[in-house]
Amino acid sequence: MKHVISVLMENEPGALSRVVGLFSARGYNIETLSVAPTEDPTLSRLTLTTGGSDAVLEQITKHLNRLIDVVKVVDLSDGPHIERELMLIKVRAVGKEREEIKRLSDIFRGHIVDVTDKSYTIELTGDQQKMQAFIEALDHTAILETVRTGACGVGRGERILRV
Amino acid sequence: MEITGADLVVRCLADEGVEHVFGYPGGAVLYIYDAIYNQDKFQHILVRHEQAAVHAADAYARSSQKVGVALVTSGPGVTNAVTGIATAYMDSIPMVIISGQVPTHAIGEDAFQECDTVGITRPCVKHNFLVRDVKDLAETMRRAFYIARTGRPGPVLVDIPKDITVAKTKYSPPAQEVVMRSYAPVVKGHQGQIKKAIQMLVQAERPMIYTGGGVILADASEELAQLVRMIGAPCTNTLMGLGAFPSTDRQFVGMPGMHGTYEANMSMQNCDVLLAIGARFDDRVIGNPKHFAQSPRKIIHVDIDPSSISKRVKVDVPIVGDVKDVLKELIAQYEAAGKDASAQQKSLAAWWEQVETWRGRNCLSFAQSDEVIKPQSVVQKLWEVTRGDAFITSDVGQHQMWAAQYYGFDKPRRWINSGGLGTMGVGLPYAMGVQMANPDATVACVTGEGSIQMNIQELSTCKQYHLTPKIICLNNRYLGMVRQWQQIDYGSRYSESYMDALPDFKGLVEAFGHVAMRIENPADVEGALKEAFALKDRLVFLDFITDQSENVWPMVKAGKGLTEMLLGSEEL
């Protein structure tokens, strides 16, 4: 099962490589990873998605907590949460396809952020399933480039991760 | 008044109470060495190879409860130190390693003797730092010591660029303990979990207590002994935990695991409640985890590191906390549970009868010989001659297992070896570190002719600092443990395990300025040992020419279940 793990950590050089190194050293998999400083510039918020059995997930959260730079860890999948990802997708758009792609983008609440006479670049946000659905809805031969940020997430309501 | 970064390093070490630093100079640390020249707070021990500096500091910590300190230069200084750091990391030894780095402006330019020290060491340290501003240096040093010695201990590296050591800043000694929002180790065990554990222990019909290096690191041997006697259960100590419970006590059933005793392994598998304390169910201790889990027993696991719990074996009652603290709590609550002492004895009588039957197999017996020296008998004689009261270091291989099996340790911190990483070459530098921490103690290094050659240059360090360990070399002209596995699992094809062209150790050791003896006759073993230990002010190297074909028994082959033991060559 896919898990969304949120990590609050010191915004120190090398902190990210400790997280990434832990995953490779112990044979765990990172599917997506996104990280940026928070409103407090001394802290970074990292979201990663990973898979594995309950036992593996238990070890992952324990090992993340063990890292000295890590302040707090939560597996967002344990409760209600919001998950979003941003995708920029550049597609070939010529002839009658131009209108069809525009309509498809609207249906998915995407924004066309760059236009040439041969292409559109569409910005889309949502959870991973939505990204996947949009990619599948497009004609694959039309896709020129796909850039995804990976998921970031936050717990719903009173589920708050802070110092 | 402002002082240089180099002076600040020295001041920080002094303020941490450091008395000995093991190291090797080089370009990037020359300012630090200059500052060392001008101070008298601690002694610097110049080794002959950086790996030995880290091993010596590691053993210094293992044998003294203090934080070991090593100092190396950038580039090759660090890469040579990595084996030592990884060794300490695997065994959770509190250490601070200070490494020089090329100047800040040169980092990333492939400068002379540059390497990405923080990157290279990251997977084998508890934490590491690269100091980028001299103003952060004092706080970083304090954090390094704090992180190294608290929680689950471990090595911490501080990488200091050369320009930082010459930059100036103010220094005032620390007023209060370090506080870090991202690091606060748990000390107290969870009360509810402790209650559950007590209930299980009180009702157990076949309790078993299994303890590891965590008990020694937490300095909790007395509490352990009290609890073991209170419960009345058999007790086993892992390779890292030997000496935590006295081996001469009737309740001690020997070491568990791959070369554990028959009674320890059978008790581990057949108990109904297993109390694991400061141990991590590693592959050399429990064998195949699937086989281990087949037994319906309940497991209670006390450990300071949550990630050690349910890592290889699912446990029923996890207790995260400082081992000493949790043991005290267990003792108090077990007492309060008020189980009648005589009823307790009665209820365990059948279990002990079973354990004694297993012990009756006498799995450590071996055939003595008048013609060839049996390695086990050398260790037994060593125990007799030192009255079981020496600090014993070892390298890695057959000799290590024989030392662990046949030298009965009654006190903690007396058995110093590389348990987790299994690093050949640690024995001699370990003996140096132990001797520096315990100048008046009897120190012996049990080694083999393979391992000793991995750091034999340190005989020179021993000469310089008048270190006088006795080196017991069990010389079987084979990489014995490799040969044993090849005999058992690889059709006796002894691929590259024979050490041809061995040096004349006697001549070699004498060239370093020490005393050496070569012993070939079993009748001479005891006399040689007595003679060596009588030479208190000399390092003596005893080259025992031992039985080439001797194997370590019992043995659980890799991947096999804990009770699938081979007890001797006749079972092959």
Q: What is the pLDDT of residues B267-290, one digit of tens each?
A: 999 999 999 999 999 999 999 999
CB–CB contacts below 8 A, A to B: 40
Give, to the nearest 10 degrees, the angle between helix A54-66 and helix A15-25.
150
B97 to chain A, any CB pair closer than 8 A? The answer is: no
Distance CA B127, CA B157 (A): 7
| Strand B565-566 versus strand B555-556 pairing type | antiparallel
* Confidence grade of residue B460 (pLDDT, cut at 50, 70, 90): very high
Is the confidence at residue B132, as pLDDT, over 60?
yes
Residue B571: pLDDT band with limits 50, 70, 90: confident
The pLDDT score that the predictor gives to residue B481 is 97
Give yes or no for B280 touching A (CB within 8 A). no
CA dist B442 and B470 (Å) reads 8
Among candidates A14, A71, A163 on the partner chain, residue whose Cβ is nearest the Cβ of B118: A14
Does B500 have pLDDT greater than 90?
no
ipTM value? 0.93
Closest of B88, B45, B44, B82 to residue B159, by C-alpha: B82
* Interchain pair A62, B306: CB under 8 A: yes
Q: Which residues of B are catalytic?
A: 50, 112-113, 162, 481
| pLDDT higher than 60, residue B345 | no
Q: Which two tokens stand for residue B530?
A: 């007595």
pLDDT tens for each residue of B242-254: 999 999 999 999 9
Q: Is the pLDDT score of B341 beyond 60?
A: no
Contacts of B132 in chain A (CB under 8 A): 13
Q: Give the pLDDT mean for B153-170.
A: 98
Reply yes or no on whether the pLDDT at B343 is more than 60: no
Q: What is the pLDDT of residues A67-125, one digit of tens each?
A: 999 999 999 999 999 999 999 999 999 999 999 999 999 999 999 999 999 999 999 99
Q: Which chain B residue is nearest to residue A8, measuring alpha carbons?
A: B182
Determine what percent of chain B is predicted with pLDDT higher than 70. Answer: 99
**What was the pLDDT predicted at B498?**
87
Please judge whether B307 and A59 are an interchain contact, meaning their C-beta atoms are less than 8 angstroms apart. yes
Residues B73/B26, Cβ–Cβ less than 8 Å: yes
Q: Please say if the pLDDT value at position B339 is more than 70.
A: no
Tell me whether residues A68 and B183 touch, CB distance under 8 A. Answer: yes
| Amino acid sitting at position B199 | Q
Residues 6+ apart with CB under 8 A from A31: A2, A48, A49, A50, A51, A150
Distance from CA of A70 to the nearest CA of B (A): 6
Cis peptide before A13 (omega within 30 of 0): no
Closest to A9 (Cβ–Cβ): which among B122, B126, B182?
B182
Residue in A62, A65, A161 to test binding to B, most B beta-carbons within 10 Å: A62
What is the mean predicted confidence (pLDDT) over B193-215? 96
CA B509 to chain centroid, in Å, comes to: 26
Q: Which segments of B357-439 are extended strands (E)?
A: 391-394, 415-416
Whether B127 and A68 lie within 8 Å, measured CB to CB: yes
Euclidean distance between CA atoms A146 and A138, whole angstroms = 12
CB contact under 8 A, A25 and B307: no
Contact B122 A65 (CB under 8 A): no
pTM across the whole model: 0.96
Asked if residue B142 has pLDDT above 60, the reply is yes
pLDDT given for residue B10 in this prediction: 98
User: A-chain residues within 8 Å CB-CB of B182?
Assistant: 9-10, 68-71
Residues of B in contact with A66 (CB under 8 A): 305-307
Test B122 with A68 for CB contact under 8 angstroms: no
Chain B, nearest residue to A56 by Cα: B311
Instruction: Point out the residue among A18, A58, A163 whose CB comes nearest to the CB of B181.
Output: A163
Residue B337 predicted with pLDDT over 90: no
Predicted local distance difference test score (pLDDT) of residue B227: 97
* B9-54 pLDDT per residue, tens: 999 999 999 999 999 999 999 999 999 999 999 999 999 999 999 9
Q: Considering only residues B186 and B252, tell me which one the structure prediction assigns the higher pLDDT.
A: B252
Query: Which DSSP letter does residue B469 get?
Result: P
